Amino acid sequence: MKKWSREKLVKRAIEARENAYAPYSSYKVGAALLGKSGRVYTGGNVENAVYPLTICAERAAVARAVSEGEREFVALAVATENAGPPCGSCRQVLREFGEDIVVLIADVEGGYRETTVADLLPDSFSKKDLEEVE
């Protein structure tokens, strides 16, 4: 895989945000997920009048990647108006694919901070915990 650019991944997340469907909260979120293959998968949040059925941008990007055969990820950029971090559900879904995934939390101007899934979800539950059950 070629060297990847944090700024380009953030730009892709900001672009994905434009396609978000957020008629209730007006809180648009875009995500860009970099697979180990070098391919980038994007997603936007899709709200529903029944709020629990809303799909987060991060989970939309993961679902798109997985449905296209990608299983290993390097980084995720998520973009919101105010650089809001991924929710707990998104953190757990990302954890399924690794603690070392870099997470870039960006605002719409392109400013971002960098963290990892491990830092966002310490002492997390994973498939390793299921393997230890006798």
- Active-site residue numbers? 58
115 DSSP β-pair partners: 103
Taking CA 18 as the corner, what is the angle to CA 64 and CA 8, rounded to the nearest 5 degrees? 70
Nearest to 103 by CA among 94, 111, 71, 57: 94
SS3 51: helix
